[in-house]
Structure 1
Amino acid sequence: MTALYRVPIAAHDDFEGWRDSARRLIQAGIAPDRVGWALPGAAAGDLFDAEVGPPPPTPAGTPPVRASRGYIELAQSAALHADPARFDLLYRVLWRLQSAPRLMEDRADPDVRAMDALARVVRRDIHKMRAFVRFRVIECPEVDQYVAWFEPGHHILAANAGFFVRRFAAMRWSILTPLGALHWDGEVLHQGPPANRSDVPGGDPAEDLWRTYYAAIFNPARLKVDAMVKEMPRRYWKNLPEADLIPELIAQAQAREASMIALGGEEMGRPPETLAALNDAVSACRRCAIGCNGTRAVPGEGASPAALMIVGEQPGDTEERTGRPFVGPAGQVLRDHARRAGIDLATARLTNAVRHFRHTQQGKRRLHQTPQAREIDTCRWWLDAERALVRPRLIVALGASAARGILGRTVGVQQERGKLLPLDHGAQLLITTHPSYLLRLGDTTRAEEEVRFAADLALAKRHLGE
């Protein structure tokens, strides 16, 4: 009888353990139809009633297992899916990769498509957890504790832990789920056993802030109920304090939209009345993927009111780490040119069109990614609120993203730069390049572009001096 191998998986999300066993099986030449993966708590099927053993030892001189980066990245996500056959699928694809190393490039292949479908569902579940976890405070004599209940559809708890540690590092919190728990004491993260919803306390005063915030950002003119339910599935509503407002807001949407049209489309709810309140609200914003990517919001900085507001694209790596705008390499270029132009940035307001750092991870480095149009448009409400509090006479937009954040439309920087564009309330807009653009140019081209950048700032200085 051909030997069958029933290989145990230590935990539902144990990708590393599975990969180690899979590597040994591949090197021993064990085909997928002779391997089964035993998940925790699963009963052995009839297929494995015969005597079985662990993965055999690797024969000497066996070549290494082939696994492309694309496979590894997709498999790490797909392994977190709740499908009990997921590890069979991953092993089957890994087995096929040994003879077809470019298999992952064939997106029409049924196995590759199945892996991709599992990974997409998992990534969506990770995003939903980041967006819909709501902490409730438990007042304690020394340090308040925060507890949240969430019901993930897949085994994403450990994969999402780093996000919550980074985002809520100063809090003492627990996230309880039916699949396990996370506990952060301010220094060490612990994993705990599954929990019940009854373990989470009732509502607290902070939930009123969520309701106020959600009512303020709810835009009836853009209401599409089907799209809203797709983005905020009903199964999450019972854990969201703001969700009890949704039926009423939907019912009132038509009347509110008519009111907005009558007011010129300007009624978007009451914006924060102070910059401090604005910063707090932005830090809690999860309306787009950037707000859920584990970085902290970087607020605007400087004078208020201020005659000059300088708007960049988004904070970079240095800005996100320090919590201050324009302190990285591009910020230094801006400060050097402003000083030469005679502009005192201590009297200006420095801010960004998008408040979180959109990036991709490459090893230990975080590489900048340009915000998408919908993300800039989502953040525009915060920029408008800041502008209303600062009341600048002149806004300098650094690059196309900043210009879109002000104007709400796509702008050709080279076509619009060097001239003053009228805005509402008597303000004017000057569009120029972002200093980071200068850093990417070669020496000759950069010298030419720096002359143009200096001329734009000189125009700003002349206008402010009038």
Structure 2
Amino acid sequence: MHEVVLPRIGTVPAWRREARALAQAGVPAAEVLWRVGEAEADLFAERAPPAAATRQIRLPREAVATFEAALCHADPERFARAYAMLLRLDAGELRWGDRTDPPMRRLLAQEKTVHREIHKMHAFVRFREVPPDGPRRAFAAWFEPDHPVEEAAAPFFARRFGDMDWVIVTPEVTTRFVDGTLSFTETVSRERPPPDATEDLWRTYYAGIFNPARLMPKAMQAEMPKRYWKNLPEAALIPALIRGAEQRARDMQAAAPTEPPARRAAIERQRQPSAPPPPGSLDELRAQAAECRRCNLWSAATQVVFGEGPASAALMVVGEQPGDREDLVGRPFVGPAGQVFDEEAGKAGLDRRTLFVTNAVKHFKFTPRGKRRIHQKPDAGEMTACRWWLDLEREMVRPKVIVAMGATALASLTGSGAGLLRRRGQVETLPDGTPVLVTVHPSYILRLPDEAAREAERARFRDDLRAARYLLETHR
């Protein structure tokens, strides 16, 4: 009988060396007695080293990592079981990962348990600041793992807290990280570090972020078992927070707004009764568009955004679709792109009060992302459905010149939005003879990352609007 005494520090590497030597010497598993720490008296145990190696041991690569993890389990039979499996794998009597084999199944289960214990140690170690011995700040922590995972868990703390000195003490092992060097010793003093000033701040923060509306005690205890609570400064608050959660949730519901203020105000304006618009007018057309269900965009948008301007406008400006701001206010070109248009139109000699401004699509298409609504390009079906309203606006206003801003507007007016930049600045003619000047949408300018490029594009956009004014003068 061979007795192998493994040290408490460096247990896994020591087992690996001893197991390899024993296996290479052909020592059967039944003839090896494994211990950790001090050896016990055993009249039949032999501590002499095994005979010289007679063969090489080969294991699957993934098996080595699993053995090393499972050997951090607290099971006293883990070393003997692992050595027996090592011999069976080397002899071809066992296929790696075969869960029909009870020892294999148990080894894999213990590996999973160890990884979970390491994760818990990473999550629930709480450092307290202590007086330093040098120029670096120093911290200490006490933790009580169910399995001997200290050495496996320590590299995480070394990576994350490499700019400070720290000590993690467990009942068996003391881990030190001093001046960037990681070391392990057996624990001599089990004295826990005293509380520090940050714990009161941490408890205040924890109580502030505690969400009573999402309280699930069973799920919380599954992730943070009660055996860890005694070492967590915030744990003393948990029972009282749970008891008051129901009342706090009711108070939160009573204080919370039912809808975003801007959106609610827009909806309320829609609900207010008003006098019926004159028949055959733009106002009547606008009222009819508010009930449009020709595509599905109405279901998510706040309201329809119809064109505005005098019915006798000689110049019609067609954009792509409303943005977030336009959707809330109910008017076209009042957001950031609208501000760019107003500024450059004024510099080009155009007065917005004399223009009829509208969009090819009348509802805001977006994708929600947190609290924001991100603009999405309308598809062909949505543009076709909204062309009905654009054609009616053109029929009522009868503009002399139209400015198409962007590919969506160009496609709705001419049937194709392809090659926008190539067609930019050109004048195209609609089947009814109306000239259309092609340009970019102001949002294109806002999306340019370079300030110099934005200024250059604003100048080109201004020139396009100035060309539209000259074109208008020739068609009057």
**What interval of TM-score do these two structures reach, taking the shorter chain for normalisation?**
0.5 to 0.7
Pair 461,225 (structure 1): closer, same or farther in 2 beyond 3 Å: same
From 178, 197, 200, give the equivalent of 1:205. Answer: 197
- The question of whether the paired residues in 2 share the 8 Å contact of 1:176 and 1:195 is answered with no
Unaligned runs of 5+ in 2: 259-335, 338-363, 378-440, 449-457, 459-476
Cα deviation 1:272-295 (Å, max 9, x = unaligned) = xxxxxxxxxxxxxxxxxxxxxxxx
CA distance in 1 between partners of 2:119 and 2:442 (Å): 44
AA paired with 2:151? A
Instruction: Give the CA deviation at 1:93.
Output: 1.0
1:260-275 superposed matches below 5 A? 260-263=252-255
CA distance in 2 between partners of 1:74 and 1:423 (Å): 41
CA distance in 1 between partners of 2:40 and 2:257 (Å): 60
Aligned to 1:94: 86
Pair 31,220 (structure 1): closer, same or farther in 2 beyond 3 Å: same
From 48, 56, 74, give the equivalent of 1:53. Answer: 48
1:394-409 superposed matches below 5 A? none
Aligned to 1:178: 171
CA distance in 2 between partners of 1:423 and 1:117 (Å): 40
Instruction: Give the CA deviation at 1:113.
Output: 1.1
AA paired with 2:150? L
1:11 aligns with 2:4: no
1:330-409 superposed matches below 5 A? none
Aligned length: 284
1:128 aligns with 2:74: no
From 225, 231, 239, give the equivalent of 2:217. Answer: 225
Instruction: Give the CA deviation at 1:193.
Output: 2.8
Instruction: Give the CA deviation at 1:142.
Output: 4.8
Pair 107,264 (structure 1): closer, same or farther in 2 beyond 3 Å: farther
CA distance in 1 between partners of 2:131 and 2:182 (Å): 21
Instruction: Give the CA deviation at 1:49.
Output: 2.3
Unaligned runs of 5+ in 1: 267-392, 395-417, 433-457
Instruction: Give the CA deviation at 1:169.
Output: 1.0
1:64-463 superposed matches below 5 A? 64-100=56-92, 103-140=95-132, 142-200=135-193, 202-263=194-255, 420-421=366-367, 427-430=372-375, 461-462=444-445
Report the 3-state secondary structure (helix = DSSP H, G, I; strand = E; otherwise coil) of the residue aligned with 2:195. coil
CA distance in 2 between partners of 1:30 and 1:265 (Å): 75
TM-score, structure 2 normalization? 0.53
Cα deviation 1:218-256 (Å, max 9, x = unaligned) = 222332222212211212111111111100111112222
Report the 3-state secondary structure (helix = DSSP H, G, I; strand = E; otherwise coil) of the residue aligned with 2:96. helix
- The question of whether the paired residues in 2 share the 8 Å contact of 1:66 and 1:101 is answered with no
Instruction: Give the CA deviation at 1:429.
Output: 1.7
CA distance in 1 between partners of 2:209 and 2:170 (Å): 29
Instruction: Give the CA deviation at 1:135.
Output: 1.2
Instruction: Give the CA deviation at 1:10.
Output: 2.8
CA distance in 1 between partners of 2:53 and 2:369 (Å): 71
Which range moved further: 235-244 or 22-31? 22-31
- The question of whether the paired residues in 1 share the 8 Å contact of 2:5 and 2:39 is answered with no
Report the 3-state secondary structure (helix = DSSP H, G, I; strand = E; otherwise coil) of the residue aligned with 2:126. coil
TM-align CA RMSD: 3.4
Instruction: Give the CA deviation at 1:111.
Output: 0.7
Cα deviation 1:195-234 (Å, max 9, x = unaligned) = 444242x211111232133223322233222221221121
Cα deviation 1:343-382 (Å, max 9, x = unaligned) = xxxxxxxxxxxxxxxxxxxxxxxxxxxxxxxxxxxxxxxx
AA paired with 2:367? L
CA distance in 1 between partners of 2:176 and 2:20 (Å): 33
Report the 3-state secondary structure (helix = DSSP H, G, I; strand = E; otherwise coil) of the residue aligned with 1:137. strand
Pair 265,208 (structure 1): closer, same or farther in 2 beyond 3 Å: farther
Give the percent of matched residue pairs that are identical in Structure 1 and Structure 2: 39
Cα deviation 1:290-337 (Å, max 9, x = unaligned) = xxxxxxxxxxxxxxxxxxxxxxxxxxxxxxxxxxxxxxxxxxxxxxxx
CA distance in 2 between partners of 1:247 and 1:71 (Å): 44
Report the 3-state secondary structure (helix = DSSP H, G, I; strand = E; otherwise coil) of the residue aligned with 2:208. helix
From 2, 19, 23, give the equivalent of 2:20. Answer: 23
CA distance in 2 between partners of 1:423 and 1:263 (Å): 24
Pair 144,109 (structure 1): closer, same or farther in 2 beyond 3 Å: same
Report the 3-state secondary structure (helix = DSSP H, G, I; strand = E; otherwise coil) of the residue aligned with 2:65. helix
- The question of whether the paired residues in 1 share the 8 Å contact of 2:2 and 2:32 is answered with yes
Instruction: Give the CA deviation at 1:80.
Output: 1.0
Instruction: Give the CA deviation at 1:138.
Output: 2.0
Pair 50,79 (structure 1): closer, same or farther in 2 beyond 3 Å: closer
Report the 3-state secondary structure (helix = DSSP H, G, I; strand = E; otherwise coil) of the residue aligned with 1:159. helix
- The question of whether the paired residues in 2 share the 8 Å contact of 1:138 and 1:147 is answered with yes
Pair 421,229 (structure 1): closer, same or farther in 2 beyond 3 Å: closer
- The question of whether the paired residues in 1 share the 8 Å contact of 2:138 and 2:164 is answered with yes
CA distance in 1 between partners of 2:101 and 2:443 (Å): 57
AA paired with 1:54? P
Which structure would you say has the larger Rg? 2
